Amino acid sequence: MQQSGLLDDTTPEIVRAATGFGGGIAGSRNICGIITGAVIAIGLKRGRTTPDGDRETSRDLAKELLEKFEERYGSLDCGKLVEPFEDFSSKERSEFCRMMTQQVGDEMESMLAEEK
């Protein structure tokens, strides 16, 4: 797997803002934080810059990413994704989430490159 360079320009503020995404948003096991972060990253790269700007480009990319993620992993829900792991704090679960994060980053990088 390649190392994604999608957000090489990530600032400490972006990292700080994403802190609560883990565990399906603040550990709630709802929508996967990877997806939330990915949609924000798409917006940073292809989102509108004014209130009346183009929404469709970013929305279409986000929808495509959601569909691919759900097709690949079977759910967008953190609780379902990590169900096979008895211990949420286990190394195996953590590695699984890191692998998904890398795959989503690679997928986004590909999608955004095609979109240019």
Q: pLDDT tens across 1-37, in order?
A: 344 455 566 788 888 888 888 888 888 899 999 999 9
Residue type at 33 in one-letter notation: G
Domain boundaries, the chain: 12-115
pLDDT of residue 61: 95
63-108 residue pLDDT tens: 999 999 999 999 999 999 999 999 999 999 999 999 999 999 899 8
Q: What are the phi and psi torsion angles at 90 (to 5°)? A: -70, 155
Residue 21: per-residue pLDDT: 87
Do 23 and 88 meet the contact criterion of CB atoms below 8 Å apart? Answer: yes
Q: Given this model, what pLDDT does residue 6 score?
A: 53
43 contacts 112 by C-beta, under 8 angstroms: no
What is residue 3's predicted lDDT score, i.e. its pLDDT?
45
Residue 2's pLDDT is 41
Q: Tell me the two tokens of residue 99.
A: 């692998």
From 112, 115, 114, 116, select the one nearest 5 (Cα to Cα).
Answer: 112
Burial class (CB in 10 A: 0-12, 13-18, 19+), 72: exposed
